[in-house]
Amino acid sequence: MRFEDFARLHGLRVDSLIPGRWVAVPTDDHPRKRNGRYRWLGDVGWVQNWATMQEPAMWRSEERDYQSPQVRRAVADAGRERLELAKKAASKAGWILHQCKTDIHPYLEKKGFPDESGNVWTTEEGQRLLVVPMRAGSRLIGAQLIDCEGNKKFLYGQQTKGASFTMDAKGAPILCEGYATALSIRAVMKAMKVRYTIHVCFSAGNMKDVARGISGGIVVADNDPNGVGEKAARETGKPYWLSDAVGEDFNDFHRRVGLFKAMSSLKRAVFAGGSPAASGAETLPQSGAPVLA
């Protein structure tokens, strides 16, 4: 299999190959963004789709012996480089957070929270970025940066597998992908006066990794057109909520129907979510959506 075909198999759109460095490219699920990356060294290469993969997948040329000293050396060098980049990203995340001020941000206003404050970092170029820390346990490993238009990126080289951001730590676990979704969940839980622990997982693929370390709870999934969010939710083995509208996450749903209907919609999921259904994960009814056994 050619490297370009391997990249396409993982959802990356690679038009031409640039050797020797990590290159950002669009993906099938995010064609207008550069949500994928690849590194091609001729005989070996790596691809990663940030939405579905927590670690790069390796490709080896069928025309070369991948046990040859040259290929093995390239693989070892790449592994050491990834570790070094992850350390630098963690250090940079700490530095950025020390530069942040607690402030409102246009992204939060667009998502329905004009009075919400967050970590805001002003770059040397004057760009104001909302910064969401990413931790594995208590260890800071990176950050998600969100600009005023809602474009998101991670720090170069950072680890994402198993990373999350937690809101409070007092009640039932609720897993979701995005920060704005978490804010909507928090608003609903506060309105219901129910304690919660919200885990922002940053991607559908990573939600499965985070879920492995959490007992019980529910997943609030994104209703992606390609079904990635629902597939990941089902694979956690937990009950999950899903909007009745394709393309919506819970924040979209909350802004569309209002707090009361969003609260009613999520309520059954919260109180039914102590443990997975006996036959596996299930959607919980909201806005007329069917229950999947």
The string of DSSP codes covering 145-165 is EE-TT--EEEPTT---TT-BE
Average pLDDT score over residue span 90-104: 97
8 A C-beta contact, residue 241 and residue 269? yes
pLDDT greater at residue 138 or residue 71 = 138
8 A C-beta contact, residue 49 and residue 12? yes
Q: What is the DSSP letter of 20?
A: T
> Rounded distance, CA 9 to CA 39, Å?
15
pLDDT for residue 291 = 27
pLDDT for residue 229 = 93
pLDDT greater at residue 167 or residue 280 = 167
pTM of the entire predicted model: 0.77
8 A C-beta contact, residue 48 and residue 34? no
Residue 141 — very low, low, confident or very high, per pLDDT cuts 50/70/90?
Answer: very high
Which of 2, 43, 3, 1 lies closest to 25, judged by CA? Answer: 3
pLDDT for residue 277 = 34
pLDDT for residue 103 = 97
pLDDT tens per residue across span 207-220: 999 999 999 999 99
For the cut 50, the answer to whether the pLDDT of residue 6 exceeds it is yes
Residue 71 — very low, low, confident or very high, per pLDDT cuts 50/70/90?
Answer: low
Least confident piece of the model among 7-21, 43-57, 71-85: 71-85
Q: Which residues pair with 152 in a beta bridge?
A: 146
To the nearest whole percent, how much of the chain has pLDDT over 70?
A: 88
pLDDT for residue 287 = 35
DSSP string, 94-109: HHHHHH-EEE--HHHH
For residue 247, give every residue at least 6 positions away whose Cβ sits within 8 Å of its Cβ, in sequence order, or none.
223, 224, 225
pLDDT for residue 221 = 96
Boundaries of every domain in the chain = 3-66, 165-293
Residue 165 — very low, low, confident or very high, per pLDDT cuts 50/70/90?
Answer: very high
Write out the E strands in 4-116.
Answer: 23-25, 36-40, 44-49, 57-60, 101-103
Average pLDDT for the chain: 86
pLDDT for residue 249 = 97
pLDDT for residue 80 = 80
**What fold is seen in the domain 165-293?**
Dna Topoisomerase Vi A Subunit; Chain: A, domain 2 (3.40.1360)
Sole residue written with tokens 């198993």: 162
Q: Are strands 240-241 and 196-200 parallel, antiparallel or unpaired?
A: unpaired
Average pLDDT score over residue span 1-6: 90
Highest mean pLDDT: which range of 113-122, 156-165, 168-177: 113-122
pLDDT greater at residue 73 or residue 257 = 257
Which of 33, 40, 38 lies closest to 48, judged by CA? Answer: 38
Average pLDDT score over residue span 235-247: 94
Residue 290 — very low, low, confident or very high, per pLDDT cuts 50/70/90?
Answer: very low
